[in-house]
Amino acid sequence: MPFLSDTLARVKPSPTIAMTNKAAELKAQGRDIIGLSAGEPDFDTPANIAEAGGRAIAEGKTRYTAVDGIPELKRAICAKFKRDNDLDYTPSEVSVGTGGKQVLYNALMATLNPGDEVIIPAPYWVSYPDMVLLAGGTPVTVACGIETGYKLTAETLEAAITPNTKWLLFNSPSNPTGAGYSHDELKALTDVLLRHDHVWVMTDDMYEHLAFGDFRFTTPAQVEPGLKDRTLTVNGVSKAYAMTGWRIGYAAGPEPLIRAMAKLQSQSTSNPCSVSQWAAVEALDGPQDFIAPNNAVFQRRRDLVVAGLNAAPGVTCPVPDGAFYVYPDISGCIGKTSTGGTVIADDEAFATALLEEEGVAVVFGAAFGLSPNFRVSYATSDAALEEACGRIRRFCEGLR
């Protein structure tokens, strides 16, 4: 009898972790490595939020809480949905978990049966297909190339829907591309979904507040109220509030689904950290005025990186609408040989050679389901980004 479960065998180890480990190994050997693979802001948690967490400890708010969130946080989340998205939810339609990741996982575990399909536009956040597999469902990935701005279209969505489709797992602005869907682009998708009333939408709005220039964030239940009773809107405080380590995510949706997610959480992790929940109340209810200056920094870095990468031969880097990633296409580099003698057969070979020869750690596109590309996280200093872009340019100029 095998010791490890069959379920685990369906899931692959994270390729991003392999790259991160390799970078750490080289750093430990004394190499000068620039890491562009981290998926988190380099800002500290704003002081008022951190202080709210400290106050919660001092006041002894350190015990178990209601399984899927304290009433104060659920009320703050309802107010946030009204303020930012014009969506009306009551606390009983809200679930709080240990990061957006747990909330997504709970929703998939609570709803998927063998044979159920989940449509995942690719490139996708690395965890989506594996979470679906862990939950016993079937991920159906749909390639969304650079020609459609890495976005799903009405036609490709329509073609992917089958009688077994349970969810569309949607993410805007996207990790890894930064692509954001305009109101009209989203409306084209929700029009398709209106015609298929067995399909639900799980929208991952984690990067809502990281939106630049003319891009205006909107979310499926807001664009099409007719879909609200089959939409789970997932969000969290990790990215916009620089709170990745606090581990608070949340979702709003139909009450029976929220109850099912709470049942699962009650038999696995129970409540998310009590102290973090109080900090999240302050994040959502407190001043939001640091978001705009943070975004101005991110937008400046985005422009720096897009210009720097487009100057590298064989690299085409679209300008993203949000998040803190770019996802350049490297078709022009494939098949060439690096200065160090590596044949760039695919984007994994590109990323590995770039790390070994120039000391720049990026994540290769195959990890996100669309190649040949790589992902850069520009949530790091301007100086590091300038140096990294210079090294990437030199690496590409050396390809023969």
Ligand X SMILES: Cc1ncc(COP(=O)(O)O)c(C=O)c1O
Question: Which tokens go with 184?
Answer: 């009209």
Subset of residues 320 to 359 that bind ligand X, contact rule: CB under 6 A: none
Integer angstrom CA distances of residue 337 from 113, 177, 220, 347, 363: 46, 26, 45, 13, 19
Q: Identify the CA nearest to 306 among candidates 324, 332, 333.
A: 324
Window of 45-53, 96-104, 337-345, 385-393 that interacts with ligand X by CB under 6 A: 96-104
Residue from 182, 244, 310, 342 in contact with ligand X (CB under 6 A): 244
Residue from 249, 322, 359, 365 in contact with ligand X (CB under 6 A): 249
Angle at 215 between CA 211 and CA 221, to 5 degrees: 85
CB of 196 within 8 A of CB of 163? no
At closest approach, how far in Å is the CB of 206 from ligand X? 4
At closest approach, how far in Å is the CB of 242 from ligand X? 11
CB of 226 within 8 A of CB of 246? no
Question: Which tokens go with 253?
Answer: 């949706």
Residue from 204, 224, 347, 358 in contact with ligand X (CB under 6 A): 204
Letters for 224-243 (x = contact with ligand X by CB under 6 A, - = none) are: ------------x-x-----
Residue from 53, 100, 308, 314 in contact with ligand X (CB under 6 A): 100
CB of 240 within 8 A of CB of 210? yes
Question: Which tokens go with 335?
Answer: 């098949």
Residue 114's identity, in one-letter code, is P
The residue (of 52 and 399) whose beta carbon lies closer to ligand X is: 52
The residue (of 238 and 380) whose beta carbon lies closer to ligand X is: 238
Residue from 175, 203, 271, 338 in contact with ligand X (CB under 6 A): 175
Question: Which tokens go with 330?
Answer: 């490297």
Residue from 101, 151, 166, 209 in contact with ligand X (CB under 6 A): 101
Window of 95-103, 266-274, 299-307, 345-353 that interacts with ligand X by CB under 6 A: 95-103
At closest approach, how far in Å is the CB of 191 from ligand X? 24
CB atoms within 10 A of CB 69: 25
The residue (of 204 and 358) whose beta carbon lies closer to ligand X is: 204
Q: Give me the helices (H) in the chain, please.
A: 6-9, 15-28, 47-58, 71-85, 99-111, 127-134, 154-160, 183-194, 220-223, 255-266, 274-285, 291-310, 347-358, 382-397
The residue (of 149 and 249) whose beta carbon lies closer to ligand X is: 249
At closest approach, how far in Å is the CB of 284 from ligand X? 14
Residue from 23, 34, 39, 221 in contact with ligand X (CB under 6 A): 39
SS3 148: helix
Residue 64's identity, in one-letter code, is Y
The residue (of 100 and 308) whose beta carbon lies closer to ligand X is: 100
What's the rounded Cα separation, in Å, for the pair 285 and 180?
26
Window of 94-102, 159-167, 180-188, 281-289 that interacts with ligand X by CB under 6 A: 94-102
What's the rounded Cα separation, in Å, for the pair 398 and 187?
45
At closest approach, how far in Å is the CB of 210 from ligand X? 11
Subset of residues 107 to 126 that bind ligand X, contact rule: CB under 6 A: 125
At closest approach, how far in Å is the CB of 208 from ligand X? 11
**What is the number of the residue whose Cβ is closest to ligand X?**
99
* Residue 206 contacts ligand X per CB under 6 A: yes
What's the rounded Cα separation, in Å, for the pair 152 and 98?
29
Q: Which residues bind ligand X (CB under 6 A)?
A: 39, 99-101, 125, 171, 175, 204, 206, 236, 238, 244, 249
